[in-house]
C-alpha cells in the first residue's frame, strides 16, 4: 500500500461535488487534523482544517504545503464542461495553470499527487465504447484541458519521478453536494426535481447515452488507485478509464418514475447536448481492472434506490 497514517493530505477544490465526499473519506483514513481542505471560499459545514487557496496562486499553495507538511495533494480544483465552455480562457487557466502549480510544487517538495481526468478527453472520433487507448480528440475546451493535464502528469512522472495518478471519471451521481457545472449534472438534478417538484425539464435528449458512476464507487476507486503499489501501475497511471454503468437519459427518468409517483419529465436540449454527443456511450476499463483490481459495486438500479433514499 502506498501511503497511510502519518501522511498529511491537501485537497484543492474541496467544496465541490467530489471534494465534499473525498475529504470525509480521507479524514476517516488519516484523521481529521491531517486533511487540509482548501477552496476559493469557506465551506459551510466542514469539520477540520480549511485554508482559502486559489490554485493559480503558486505562493499560497507553497505556503500551505510547507506550513502543514503536506505529503499528498488531491487536486480537484477545476472548471467543468458547461462552466468551462462559457469561459474557455478561465477554464484553460485554472485547469492547466492550476495543475502546473501543483505538479511543480510536488516535484520540489516530493509530494504524491492525485489529478482526475474525465471521459471528456474523448471526442466524436472515439468508438461508442471508449477503450483505454482510443483517440483523444475532444471538441470541448474542458476536454482539451483534461488531455493536456494527462500529458503533464505523464511528463512529471517520466521526467521527474513525481508519483501522479488519475482516473477518467464518468459523470458522477451523488446526493451530498450539488454538481458543479457539468454536462452530466442532469443526472443529479433530475432526482432533486422529481422529489421537490414532481417534474423536470432535462437539457439533453431522452436517447442520450453517457457513462456514469455512483459517487461511492468513485471515492473507493480513488482511494484504491492511490493505495496501489506503484510498480503495478502501467503507462495509464494518470488516466485510467473507469466504468460504472451507462444509461440513456430516458431510462433514468423511467427508473425514477417507477419509484416517484406522478413524476413527469420533458426534454429540452440546450448547448450541453452538443458536449454530450461528442462523448462516448460506454467505457472499457479492462486496464484499471488488470492493473489495480478495480471493480464497480453499484448498478444503475441500486444507484437510483440510494439517491432517492438519501434525498427523501
Ligand atoms: P466541482 O465543480 O463540483 O468542484 C470544483 C471546485 O473547484 C469548486 O468548489 C470550485 O470552487 C473550485 N475551484 C474552481 N476554481 C478554483 C481555483 N482557481 N482555485 C481553487 N479552487 C477552485 O467539481 P467536481 O465535480 O468536484 O470535480 C473535481 C475534479 O474531478 C475536476 O478535475 C473534474 O474535471 C473532475 N471530474 C469530475 C466529474 C464529475 O462528474 N463530478 C467527472 C469527471 C471528472
Ligand atoms: C462534466 O459533465 O463536465 C463532468 C465530466 C464528465 O467531466 N461531469
Q: What is the pLDDT of residue 1?
A: 45
To which H or E segment does residue 164 belong?
A: strand 164-165
Q: Could you tell me the distance, in angstroms and rounded to a whole number, from the CA of residue 13 to the centre of ligand 1?
A: 6
Mutate to test the pocket of ligand 1, among 43, 76, 174, 179 (most ligand atoms within 8 A of CB): 76
| Atom of ligand 2 lying closest to residue 84 CA | 3
Dig out the grid coordinates for 292 from the structure: 489495480
Q: Are 72 and 32 in contact (CB under 8 A)?
A: no
What's phi and psi for 303, nearest 5 deg?
-60, -45
CA of 57 to the centre of ligand 1 (A): 17
Residues contacting 103, CB < 8 A, separation 6+: 113, 115, 152, 153, 156, 162, 164
Closest-lying ligand 2 atom to the alpha carbon of residue 181: 3
Mutate to test the pocket of ligand 1, among 14, 58, 80 (most ligand atoms within 8 A of CB): 80
Region of 309 (left: φ > 0; alpha: ψ -120 to 50; beta: rest) is alpha
Number of other residues whose CB lies within 10 A of the CB of residue 227: 13
The Å distance, Cα 159 to ligand 1 centre, comes to: 27
Query: Which residues in the chain show pLDDT less than 50?
Result: 1
Say which ligand is closest to the CA of 185. 2
Of 197, 203, 183, which is closest to residue 256 (Cα–Cα)? Answer: 197
Give the model's pLDDT for residue 44.
Answer: 87
Query: What ligand is nearest to the CA atom of residue 184?
Result: 2
Q: Which residues are catalytic?
A: 142
Q: How many CB atoms lie within 10 A of CB 196?
A: 10
3-state secondary structure of 151: helix
CA neighbor of 67 nearest in space, from 6, 27, 10, 2: 10
Distance between Cα 268 and ligand 2 center (Å): 19
Task: Say what the pTM is.
Answer: 0.97
Counting atoms of ligand 2 from 1, which one is nearest the CA of 119? 6
Ligand nearest to the CA of 210: 2
143 CB near ligand 1 (under 6 Å): no
pLDDT tens figures, 280-299: 999 999 999 999 999 999 99
Contacts of residue 124, defined as CB under 8 A and 6 or more positions apart, other chains included, come to 137, 139, 277, 278
Amino acid at each position: 500500500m502506498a501511503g497511510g497514517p502519518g501522511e498529511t493530505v491537501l485537497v484543492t477544490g474541496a467544496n465541490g461535488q467530489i471534494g465534499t465526499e473525498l475529504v470525509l473519506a480521507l479524514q476517516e483514513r488519516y484523521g481529521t487534523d491531517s486533511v487540509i481542505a482548501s477552496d476559493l471560499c469557506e465551506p459551510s459545514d466542514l469539520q477540520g482544517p480549511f485554508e482559502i487557496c486559489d490554485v493559480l496562486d503558486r505562493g499560497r499553495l507553497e505556503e500551505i504545503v510547507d506550513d502543514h507538511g503536506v505529503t499528498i495533494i488531491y487536486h480537484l480544483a477545476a472548471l467543468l464542461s458547461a462552466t468551462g465552455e462559457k469561459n474557455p480562457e478561465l477554464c484553460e487557466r485554472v485547469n492547466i495553470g492550476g495543475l502546473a502549480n501543483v505538479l511543480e510544487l510536488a516535484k520540489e517538495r516530493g509530494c504524491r499527487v492525485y489529478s482526475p481526468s474525465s471521459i471528456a478527453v474523448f471526442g466524436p472520433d472515439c468508438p461508442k465504447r471508449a477503450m483505454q487507448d482510443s483517440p483523444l480528440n475532444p471538441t470541448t475546451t474542458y476536454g482539451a484541458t483534461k488531455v493536456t493535464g494527462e500529458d503533464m502528469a505523464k511528463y512529471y512522472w517520466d521526467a521527474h519521478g513525481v508519483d501522479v495518478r488519475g482516473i477518467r471519471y464518468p459523470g458522477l451521481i451523488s446526493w451530498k453536494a450539488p454538481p458543479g457545472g457539468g454536462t452530466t449534472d442532469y443526472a443529479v438534478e433530475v432526482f432533486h426535481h422529481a422529489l421537490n417538484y414532481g417534474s423536470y425539464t432535462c437539457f439533453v435528449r431522452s436517447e442520450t447515452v453517457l457513462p456514469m458512476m455512483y459517487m461511492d464507487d468513485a471515492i473507493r476507486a480513488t482511494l484504491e488507485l492511490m493505495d496501489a503499489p506503484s510498480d503495478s501501475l502501467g503507462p495509464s497511471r494518470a488516466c485510467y478509464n473507469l466504468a460504472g454503468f451507462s444509461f440513456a437519459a430516458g431510462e433514468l427518468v423511467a427508473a425514477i418514475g417507477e419509484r416517484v409517483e406522478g413524476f413527469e419529465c420533458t426534454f429540452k436540449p440546450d448547448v450541453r447536448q452538443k458536449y454530450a454527443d461528442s462523448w462516448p456511450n460506454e467505457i472499457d476499463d479492462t486496464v484499471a481492472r488488470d492493473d489495480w483490481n478495480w471493480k464497480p459495486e453499484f448498478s444503475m438500479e441500486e444507484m437510483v434506490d440510494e439517491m432517492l433514499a438519501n434525498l427523501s
